[in-house]
Amino acid sequence: MLTKAQIRSKILKRLKTQKEEDRNRKSKLIQDKLLRNKVFKKAKTVMFYIAFGGEVNTEEMIREAIKLGKLICVPIFRKDKEIMQPAMFVDHAKLKKGPYGVWEPVSETLVDPEDLDLIVVPGLAFDKKGNRLGRGKGCYDRFLAALSDSTPSIGLAFDFQVLPLIPTTSNDVSIKKIVFS
């Protein structure tokens, strides 16, 4: 079995070399599946991630969710405390690069994680059991671990990011569902 580092390296390479038109086409298919999802439809407050590094593009999903009247949050990172917090996101919000190179809102209106109805989670790789491999900082694992078990989480992935098995440790937190194309 491949190690986490080997999987990360392989998937990062695939994300970087995937054609932009394939990324956009598949992201649109993933968006359609997400918008039809029962949990998404019911959710009032949704935490998305702002895609970078070839990840499933969430920009259009966020716009659609705002049109549907959902309250949108995105993570902001505190490198000193190694924590992630949900912050309000409004359409056309000014963004800045956060400590890990992820875009985050300049104006930080924090949202209580307990108020989230759904968390849309990025990952480099997932398996069918909902195990997730992130970029290795543990931010999402710590964040998800602190939430109630009943808080739904959905990972977004391209088909090549869904593997038969992901190696896990006791710190890894699995997600409830994966939407991929």
Q: What is the CATH number of the domain that holds 81?
A: 3.40.50.10420
- The yes-or-no verdict on residue 1 having pLDDT over 90 is no
- Kindly indicate the confidence band of residue 79, based on its pLDDT and cuts at 50, 70 and 90: confident
Amino acid at 134: G
Interval 137-141 mean pLDDT: 92
Please state the pTM of the whole predicted model. Answer: 0.94
Q: How many domains does the chain have?
A: 1
- The yes-or-no verdict on residue 91 having pLDDT over 80 is no
CA-based nearest residue to 134, from 83, 174, 94, 78:
174
- The tokens describing 175, both together, are 């997600």
Is 53 within a domain? yes
Residue 115 CB contacts under 8 Å (≥ 6 apart), including other chains:
45
How remote is the C-alpha of 63 from its chain's centroid?
Answer: 16
Three-class secondary structure of residue 44 per DSSP = coil
